């Protein structure tokens, strides 16, 4: 079942009744809106004047609904996750924490190869020569010791947004970096939600290591999915209105969890594909498999 994504950009009072999310807008004379909590996958809270009850938070967490809050720049800055995401959580975390260094290096090799391959497939759709990217994808070694991931990313973005003066991929760079930042934040929440549901710790990565980062594993596993966000941003850029991250653009970016992607030869919504990826990752940690399932662009 595809879960719904709700975006709240105005003052609102959010509560619950009869397993429903109840929405009241104090500035509007409307009857309260109700949505079944079981249908919700993601809720984005942007306006600082939103009030949400503890009873609703409890039910959202129990439903594994990702609650995302935004900062003063209207960018996602936090993600509410359950303490218990899987019935076998302790055992699954133990397998994750005991993963050997060679296994982690192999998993990162698979991840980087899949990311670069997807970047090449994305660019080829615009008629670009992607021989370098495809060659780099085939040259990634265990642990990506030669840093093909960064080399490929720089080359990829140089071509993808070649028509935009002064563009380079930088969080504080010129637009559409603002759109990419927002889209990646949504993708990160999707990944973290799937990891928790699969009984793993989003903070313990296979490559990313930063004591200030609570989502190192999410940052690892989302890498091959980034080109799908890039593709949506490229479509928005081609429509001409992308300098400001306005409400309409945010709504478009919030469709990311429901985007169709192809994984293991089958099409499915991105949020469903991500769950398949995280479950396959656990199988690798547990010694059941040696292959992580990633989508193909």
- Sign of the Cα torsion 189, 249, 233, 77 reads negative
Rounded to the nearest 5°, which phi and psi values hold at 266?
-125, 145
Q: Which helix (H) or strand (E) holds 41?
A: strand 40-45
Q: Which residues, 6+ apart, have CB-to-CB distance to 204 below 8 Å?
A: 96, 97, 216, 217
Distance CA 293, CA 1 (A): 20
283: its two tokens: 């199988």
**Radius of gyration of the chain, Cα coordinates, nearest whole angstrom:** 20
Q: Please, which residues bridge with residue 79 across strands?
A: 68
223 appears as a binding residue in the annotation = yes
The answer to whether 185 and 225 have CB atoms below 8 angstroms apart is no
Distance CA 171, CA 181 (A): 7
149 appears as a binding residue in the annotation = yes
238 appears as a binding residue in the annotation = no
Rounded to the nearest 5°, which phi and psi values hold at 44?
-110, 120
Could you tell me whether strands 260-263 and 40-45 are parallel, antiparallel, or unpaired per DSSP bridges? unpaired
Q: Which residues are annotated as a binding site?
A: 149, 208, 223
Q: Which residues are annotated as a binding site for Mn(2+)?
A: 149, 208, 223
């Amino acid at each position: 079942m595809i879960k719904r994504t709700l975006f709240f950009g105005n003052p609102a009072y959010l509560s619950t009744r009869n397993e429903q999310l109840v929405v009241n807008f104090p500035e509007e004379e409307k009857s309260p809106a109700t949505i079944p909590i079981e249908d919700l996958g993601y809720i984005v809270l942007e306006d600082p004047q939103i009030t949400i009850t503890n009873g609703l938070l409890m039910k959202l967490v129990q439903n594994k609904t990702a609650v995302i809050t935004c900062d003063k720049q209207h960018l996602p800055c936090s993600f509410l996750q359950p303490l218990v995401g899987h019935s076998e959580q302790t055992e699954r975390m133990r397998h994750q924490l005991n993963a050997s260094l060679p296994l982690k290096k192999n998993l990162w090799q698979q991840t980087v190869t899949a990311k670069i391959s997807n970047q090449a497939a994305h660019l080829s759709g615009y008629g670009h020569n992607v021989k370098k990217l495809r060659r780099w994808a085939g040259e990634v070694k265990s642990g990506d010791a030669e840093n093909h991931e960064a080399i490929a990313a720089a080359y990829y973005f140089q071509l993808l947004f070649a028509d935009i003066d002064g563009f380079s991929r930088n969080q504080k760079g010129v637009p559409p970096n603002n759109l990419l930042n927002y889209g990646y934040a949504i993708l990160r929440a999707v990944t973290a939600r799937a990891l928790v549901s699969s009984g793993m710790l989003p903070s313990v990565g296979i490559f990313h290591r930063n004591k200030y980062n609570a989502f190192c594993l999410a940052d690892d596993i989302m890498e091959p999915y980034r080109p799908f966000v890039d593709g949506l941003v490229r479509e928005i850029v081609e429509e001409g209105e992308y300098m400001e991250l306005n409400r309409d653009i945010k709504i478009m970016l919030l469709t990311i969890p429901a985007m169709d992607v192809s994984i293991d030869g089958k099409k499915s919504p991105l949020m469903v594909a991500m769950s398949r990826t995280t479950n396959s990752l656990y199988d690798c940690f547990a010694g059941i498999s040696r292959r992580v399932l990633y989508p193909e662009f």
